[in-house]
Amino acid sequence: MEKMFEVPKQLFPSDFDVYLFHEGTLFESYKMLGAHLVSEENLHGVRFAVWAPHAKNVSVVGNFNAWNGGQNRMQRLASSGIWVGFIPDLKKGEIYKYEVTGPGGQKELKADPYAFYSELRPATASVVYPLDTYKWNDQKWMTKRKKTDIYHKPMAIYEVHLASWKQKANGDFYTYQELADELVEYAVENGFTHIELMPVMEHPFDGSWGYQITGFYSATSRYGTPEQLMYFIDRCHQRDIGVILDWVPAHFCKDIQGLGRFDGTPLYESADPLRAERPIWGTYSFDYSKPEVVSFLISNAMFWMDVYHVDGFRIDAVSSIVYLNHDNPLPVKLSNQYGGDKNLEAIAFLKKLNETIFQRYPGVLMMAEEATEYPLVTGPTSAGGLGFNYKWNMGWANDILKYMKLSVNERPKHHHLLTFSFFYAFSENYVLPFSHDEMVHGKRSLVNKMPGDYWQKFANLRLLFGYLFTHPGKKLLFMGSEFGQFDEWKYREEMDWMLLDYESHSKFFNYYKELNSFYRETHSLWRLDHESEGFEWIDADNAGQSVITFMRRGKRKGDYCLVVCNFSDSVYRDYKIGVPSSGQYYEAFTSDAESYGGSGTFNADFIQAEKIPHHNQPCSMEITVPPLGMAIFRKQTKKRQKGVNLNGI
């Protein structure tokens, strides 16, 4: 027998919220839709609300009614497409789904698009779960975040896949809470400023790494409860570490319990199958022309910042959002109404997203993974830009890794791969990413990409990291690269921590920590990261010897350092470089110290710069350049007299 509890009027969404939702401007739609515990006067239970405009009927089903869709039918709001239901005496922890009857009469069990928690995979039901019980202790961080000038601060991001960073002896995953003790302290000890988590939204398949999502509002139960994730983020903030989440507004999983054909028709995806399909990933693309989808996505971004206090997002696959045909091998080319291949509605969505986020949460990070030459990704929307504040420099990563794979004999012919990035380094606010994408699918780990014997591989990797940390732009490193993980990333297994028992890896790990520390302490390496005044070539053209020399400048007059990178395996003695002023210089850092596994070639004494013009500089000096090495020089001043180490790093 069919049964429907009458929904008390005070539990219906307001007409104004419904209007904003359909307008695409209800940016906290998670408060209106989904499952919410009610406890007021004589009302105790759960109110459910879901958008399913083409459904003939929607019921809430679960263990509480033996999964019988006739027991708890929902009421449809007139002409809105929103269904509302109330089940008295239901409590936290109840599992549920929506039984949705499509226009053709077909019934499907759907997870709640706005569910705050989900069953542990392979189970797929949603869980009634309030998110208002955790007591935060990060007020100091949250206040500071609003005032921090992120563009002129050091940034070293540690990209992590939680399931494979570290595992228990029996192969079980660490919980969010356990990771709060181990991973957070590890990040602090190694000088990272942020942890970036690969998607932690609920997804059905471990091998998708979180990129094929079924529960956009649901922190995956693989690693524990929502409160445990809150504790992890809280601990990060208390230890001065920011938290960035990978976020996936480009596409969603086709699994039957997910968003696909949610009300029996294409709803979150386009009705045009060519626009809906994302064949290369086996997913559906979001339809940004629907205001309700825009409300859903922008609300989702707001949700993670509001409820979980996250400090930003790395927005996945932005190129596939803004271009109709990017990474989309369809039988025909798609076009917009003007004949171009830009997705105009998607571009409008991204602009609205960034405007909304920055208005509400100043100081957060919105980082675009954008692989093309789309202009003004980090430009303000008022000037026609997309409004992100950072873009991954994937062109730089591709060029430098292509170069580093070459033997030293081949490098002179490809010198442009080293220098090309500086032609556009200040056209956007860039993050330089050595991400998980570079460590999988047969691409090999960073150290195993390097040519030469074992010593040369590590020397090349030290040089590469030296170049990374001295090149303009913020830094991102995928887990394991900091200690020279030799095998490429295996998402089913933890990182190869036993490598730290081997001298080459432990010395490299020490090098990374000290390089990161030097970077954070040296203002000229980050103070003007996104301004051309912060960089000056000294010599970009020495292809024959595979050496580049440049200057990084800080804000204050006289705050600069000189960087020399030698991509050959030769030692160059009495190597002349131009410098901006005469006086004494010293080698402040080198990648070739014996303590790092290097050959120990360094400049042990102060170097006198004379007023002899060279490299378009008024002065010059002669130095020793280490093989497959990077060295940083600073000018001696009264303030720098203490702590200068001239006996090797």
**Residues involved in catalysis:** 316, 369
**HSE of 397 in the Cβ direction (CA atoms, 13 Å)?**
24
Specify the amino acid at residue 646.
Answer: L
CA–CA gap between residue 598 and residue 601 (Å, rounded): 8
Task: Count the helix, strand and coil residues of the chain and give each as a percent rounded to the nearest 5.
Answer: 30, 25, 45
CA–CA gap between residue 351 and residue 355 (Å, rounded): 6
SS3 61: strand
Give backbone dihedrals phi and psi of 185, rounded to 5 degrees, phi first: -65, -35
Burial label, 582 (beta-carbon count in 10 A; 0-12, 13-18, 19+): middle
Q: Give the other-Cβ count within 10 Å of 89's Cβ.
A: 8
CA–CA gap between residue 53 and residue 79 (Å, rounded): 8
Look up residue 468 and give its DSSP letter: H
Give backbone dihedrals phi and psi of 95, rounded to 5 degrees, phi first: -95, 150
- Would you call the peptide bond into 122 cis, given omega within 30 degrees of 0 as the criterion? yes
Q: Give the other-Cβ count within 10 Å of 329's Cβ.
A: 7
**HSE of 574 in the Cβ direction (CA atoms, 13 Å)?**
0
CA distances from 117 to 28, 72, 224, 225, 390 (A): 17, 21, 10, 8, 30
CA–CA gap between residue 592 and residue 213 (Å, rounded): 45
Specify the amino acid at residue 354.
Answer: N
| Structure tokens given for 499 | 């490598």
Nearest in space to 172 (alpha carbons), one of 223, 228, 241:
223
CA–CA gap between residue 31 and residue 13 (Å, rounded): 9
CA dihedral 533, 535, 537, 542 (to 10 degrees): -160
* Residue indicated by tokens 């100091």: 140
Alpha helix ranges (H) inside 326-391: 344-360
**438, 478 in Cβ contact below 8 A?**
yes
CA–CA gap between residue 256 and residue 72 (Å, rounded): 21
CA–CA gap between residue 366 and residue 368 (Å, rounded): 7
| Structure tokens given for 390 | 């950072």
Pairing of strands 365-368, 390-392: parallel
**Angle, vertex CA 499, rays to CA 494 and CA 501, nearest 5:** 130
Nearest in space to 396 (alpha carbons), one of 432, 347, 370:
432
> CA-based diameter of the chain, in Å?
97
**109, 61 in Cβ contact below 8 A?**
yes
